[in-house]
Structure 1
């Protein structure tokens, strides 16, 4: 945080303040490479010991634990041409009573974090913190291992957009290009009585996993279509959404669909370019929020303590989520 304080004595800059700060520089005005030239973890820097301790003290009440990890077998036909899980069990050669697992899968095919080496700013041609795309293949800089070694722990916030939309007569299909607006997300937060804090880990439930399992029974052909022609509800690609996601200073953001942002995209840019490439904010996708939403509704409380242990994979692009929520 010392590097931030040196360059921004008034505190963490808003998106508007960044535009002023970046005037005359050969970077997009929204660029927030603010943690120092050697930084590899972006907004995970917000998860300081004080932030983690405060979250633990305020959120851990009754000891209930909820897994946020969808079964590794889902989705059975991943979107974006990714390969499904291949899992086999073999008898260990030492003894017929010993067994080993073998997994062959894409780390981004199920519940996962997009790391900072996954998606850069297309127009600038750079990954987070000025990392050149060519260096992704020749170095470990900004790899998922750096986030793993720091650890992810803090206050989680669930915006149950799916429940809110249905309660307010805005019924939609999560396997359609339904755009969640920044104003609607603010309305969900107000309806739930949530006030954001710096370093929160934001989860948005759009209903994709619920709809996936419905389609398994009702229309499995639609799941095959989605694998080849992805279409999902997600957050809108607009200036208002950029401001909402940036200025609230979430340590990470996540949703339950394969893209987090509405897909197909509805503008010339991807939000991934800003979240990952310019702000260093990792993105969780296909996070299983179904049981979590039930627990939150039961308690009338949509905040909790959350942990995640990404793979300690040097130079890794992404990771299985390995995430838990605690009440």
Structure 2
């Protein structure tokens, strides 16, 4: 935070201010404002003061909701990834001792995309100018950096899927439905949500709900969803959406689909962690019952040096 304030004394910058600051840079929208040694991007916004404020305002009942989908789901992960394999066997100590093993692509289920996962395809760089060669040879910007900080703060759910059903705008989450900014803001207004700097934004697109429905009614849809090039509902990649996401300064964003953005994506480099395939069904139900769409959010990513991604390991507390 201190480095960002040194560069922008008037506070964290808008996207237009970043572009002006970067000047003649061939990629002027690159929002690497936390210093050349930074590895956690907007997780820097989760300061002790913001964490304490969230704890005081959001934890009232002590109720908890896990945001993690069962690790064996989806059975056919998107983008052609292999499903989770779980093995249980006796330990050599005897028949009353067991161990188990997991063999899986971490990004096949509820997970965080780290800053080493999907680079800027044109620029040839990852977060904070990290190169593909560095990804293969070192640990800079690995998921361990986020793990060492933790993702703890005020979470906010925008239940876009329910709002669309209630307002007569139904859609199929297994299609390339683009979630527009004006609709997200309408959801926030309907839920009486007021955003704060450092919020962890969760958007329910309905992927998990549709998955369970198709599992019963049309299993072939799950095969299509598990293809190398699936169609997925998600956040629209418009200029106004980009500016809003940048200027709102969310510490992290997540959703319930295999991609947070409408697929295929455009190239943004905002330095924000993206969570995918979070299980938001119980959370949406709890929020509706309590008429509260904000909560205390906690996640402890894997402490894997040089890791590309992590299990979500996320929980909401009311």
TM, length-normalised to structure 1: 0.96
Distance 1:281 1:167 in 2: 31
Uncovered stretches (5+) of structure 2, i.e. residues with no partner: none
SS at the partner of 1:12? coil
Match of 1:262 in 2: 262
**Matches of residues 69-80 of structure 1 in structure 2 within 5 Å?**
69-80=68-79
SS at the partner of 2:310? strand
Report deviation, 1:197.
0.4
Report deviation, 1:222.
1.0
Match of 2:184 in 1: 185
SS at the partner of 1:206? coil
Distance 1:210 1:151 in 2: 29
Report deviation, 1:231.
1.1
Distance 1:22 1:35 in 2: 14
Distance 2:8 2:311 in 1: 34
Match of 1:322 in 2: 313
Report deviation, 1:183.
1.0
Of 278, 294, 297, which aligns to 2:288?
A: 297
Report deviation, 1:264.
3.6
Structure 1, residues 201-256: CA drift from partner, whole Å, max 9, x if none? 00000000000001110010110122114111100011011012111000000010
Distance 2:85 2:206 in 1: 26
SS at the partner of 2:188? helix
Match of 1:2 in 2: 2
Report deviation, 1:279.
2.2
**Runs of 4+, deviation exceeding 3 Å:** none
SS at the partner of 1:137? helix
Match of 1:116 in 2: 115
**Matches of residues 154-173 of structure 1 in structure 2 within 5 Å?**
154-173=153-172
Match of 1:250 in 2: 250
Distance 2:141 2:33 in 1: 14
Match of 1:285 in 2: 276
Distance 2:19 2:172 in 1: 37
Distance 1:280 1:96 in 2: 49
SS at the partner of 2:52? helix
Distance 2:194 2:28 in 1: 28
Match of 2:66 in 1: 67
**Matches of residues 1-327 of structure 1 in structure 2 within 5 Å?**
1-26=1-26, 28-228=27-227, 229-265=229-265, 269=266, 273-274=267-268, 278-327=269-318
Distance 2:182 2:112 in 1: 26
Report deviation, 1:108.
0.3
Distance 1:105 1:189 in 2: 36
Structure 1, residues 277-315: CA drift from partner, whole Å, max 9, x if none? x22201000000000000000011100001001000000
SS at the partner of 1:108? helix
Report deviation, 1:25.
2.2
Report deviation, 1:122.
1.4
Report deviation, 1:2.
1.0
Report deviation, 1:83.
0.7
Report deviation, 1:133.
1.2
